[in-house]
């Protein structure tokens, strides 16, 4: 069986697959043939995760976690299984079609599966206006910072790749500014910065509660997908 590597950016995303604590930049073994890596946000860290997992014998890669919505039809918790990814420089990358079909057959019995493109962002997209502009330009359904880099790394190394993402930040929502200020490159929230900003801007507390509800919906979807597919995610054999 092909050894699978799963790459996550945020600790909360990692915990949808394992409750074991993973230091940023490290990986753990979920099964004999599945490794789970936590490497922080952004394309450079995603590519570094791919290199680390390849060194450990991985021969298939999965980008796993949450995404921002670009299509307003996608509600919090909506499941995205993209057929293609669109880089910030307009390049289009394909996922492995056979693996994608197997996952789609397995998951679509239980979920509405959105197969539109995931778009790459090189920075944290904060406002609904930014998301609308990206939707107008690219036409993708969702946005993240890591999947394109992982897809490119997989293509460069001749190994299959797919992405599974759940919407945590819908298209019509602005990300709370307290989160944007407090989120570090490893995907952790500096609570001192978050509460300091929120206390100075009380309207942030309502936005934080709404974001928490959206993020929980995305995490619930990811956990259900993992339960349905198993830890190997029907990876190529």
CATH number of the domain that 53 lies in?
A: 3.40.50.1580
Instruction: Give residue 183's pLDDT.
Output: 72
- Of 29-43, 58-72, 156-170, 205-219, which gets the smallest average pLDDT? 205-219
Answer whether residue 37 is part of any domain: yes
35: tokens are 């490794």
Give the residue numbers spanning the domain of 38. Answer: 4-229
**Average pLDDT for the chain:** 92
Q: Determine the Cα angle at 81 with ends 43 and 2, to 5°.
A: 75
Answer whether residue 159 is part of any domain: yes
Instruction: Give residue 186's pLDDT.
Output: 60
- Of 47-51, 191-195, 233-237, which gets the smallest average pLDDT? 191-195
Answer whether residue 237 is part of any domain: no
Answer whether residue 95 is part of any domain: yes
pLDDT band at 3 (very low <50, low <70, confident <90, very high): very high
Residue 108: pLDDT above 60? Answer: yes
Longest dimension (CA), the chain: 54
Answer whether residue 107 is part of any domain: yes
Distance CA 137, CA 120 (A): 12
CB 183 within 8 A of CB 87: no
Answer whether residue 17 is part of any domain: yes
107: tokens are 């998951």
Tally of domains within the chain: 1
Answer whether residue 118 is part of any domain: yes
Distance CA 227, CA 229 (A): 6
219: tokens are 């995490």
Q: Is residue 172 classed as helix, strand or coil in its secondary structure?
A: coil
Q: Is residue 53 classed as helix, strand or coil in its secondary structure?
A: helix
118: tokens are 């995931």
Answer whether residue 235 is part of any domain: no
CB 86 within 8 A of CB 148: yes
């Amino acid at each position: 069986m092909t050894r699978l590597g799963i790459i996550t950016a945020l600790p909360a995303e990692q915990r949808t697959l394992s409750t074991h604590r993973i230091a940023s930049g490290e990986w753990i073994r979920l099964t004999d043939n599945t490794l789970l890596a936590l490497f922080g946000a952004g394309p450079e860290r995603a590519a570094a995760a791919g290199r680390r997992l390849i060194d450990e014998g991985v021969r298939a890669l999965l980008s796993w976690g949450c995404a921002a919505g670009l299509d307003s039809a996608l509600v919090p918790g909506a499941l995205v299984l993209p057929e293609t990814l669109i880089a910030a420089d307009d390049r289009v990358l394909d996922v492995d079609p056979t693996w994608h079909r197997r996952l789609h057959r397995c998951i679509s019995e239980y979920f509405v599966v959105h197969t539109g493109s995931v778009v790459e962002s090189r920075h944290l997209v904060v406002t609904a206006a930014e998301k609308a502009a990206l939707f107008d330009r690219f036409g993708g359904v969702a946005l993240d910072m890591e999947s394109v880099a992982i897809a490119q790394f997989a293509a460069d190394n001749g190994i299959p790749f797919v992405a599974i993402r759940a919407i945590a930040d819908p298209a019509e929502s602005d990300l709370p500014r307290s989160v944007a200020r407090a989120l570090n490159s490893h995907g952790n929230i500096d609570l001192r910065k978050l509460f300091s900003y929120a206390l100075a801007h009380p309207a942030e507390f309502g936005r934080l509660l709404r974001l928490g509800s959206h993020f929980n919906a995305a995490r619930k979807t990811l956990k259900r997908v993992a339960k349905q597919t198993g830890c190997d995610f029907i990876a190529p054999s």
